[in-house]
């Protein structure tokens, strides 16, 4: 199992995105600073999209049951979902690109380094993931 994980790590380390993430030691330092207004507004929109959709749909369901009219949930549910989804997309457009890229680079670096460390346990000399990525080039 360790050999398979190590081979997968070596294969992933050949990708330029992974090599850059390992070489630059990608971290989450972006999240330590105070967010810009654009990122802050985007995060708020994403949070509001989560808060609004399901309580509104639940309320529509209760209303439909109370009034014995299924049209409340049939028409109101998709409208509430489209509204919530548009808030989420707007929030991701404002803050998601920068934050998602930083998070993905960090997760990639950590994941590939763990895969590469699986193979170094079997080897006699331990090498850093950066050395292994250099060897793959």
CA angle 23, 93, 78 (to 5 degrees): 130
**Whether the Cβ atoms of residue 109 and residue 21 lie closer than 8 Å to each other:** yes
**What's the confidence (pLDDT) of residue 22?**
87
d(CA 54, CA 61): 10
Domain ranges of the chain: 2-136
What's residue 7's pLDDT?
86
pLDDT tens-digit map of 9-33: 888 888 888 888 888 888 888 788 8
HSE-up of residue 130 (Cα within 13 Å, Cβ side): 7
Q: Are 109 and 126 in contact (CB under 8 A)?
A: no
- pLDDT, tens digit (0-9, with 9 covering 90-100), for 47-104: 899 898 889 999 999 999 999 999 999 999 999 999 999 999 999 898 877 788 888 8
56 near 115, Cβ under 8 Å?
Answer: no
pLDDT in tens, 31-50: 888 888 988 899 899 889 98
């Amino acid at each position: 199992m360790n050999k398979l994980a190590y081979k997968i790590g070596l294969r992933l380390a050949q990708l330029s995105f992974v090599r850059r993430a390992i070489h630059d030691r990608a971290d989450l330092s972006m999240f330590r600073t105070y967010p810009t207004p654009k990122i802050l507004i985007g995060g708020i929109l994403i949070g509001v999209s989560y808060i609004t959709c399901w309580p509104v749909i639940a309320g529509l369901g209760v209303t439909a049951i109370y009034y014995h009219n299924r049209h409340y949930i049939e028409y109101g549910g998709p409208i509430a979902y489209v509204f919530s989804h548009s808030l989420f997309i707007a929030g991701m457009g404002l803050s998601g690109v920068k934050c998602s890229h930083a998070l993905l680079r960090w997760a990639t670096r950590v994941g590939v380094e763990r895969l590469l460390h699986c193979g170094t346990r079997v080897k006699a000399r331990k090498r850093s993931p950066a050395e292994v990525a250099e060897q793959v080039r």
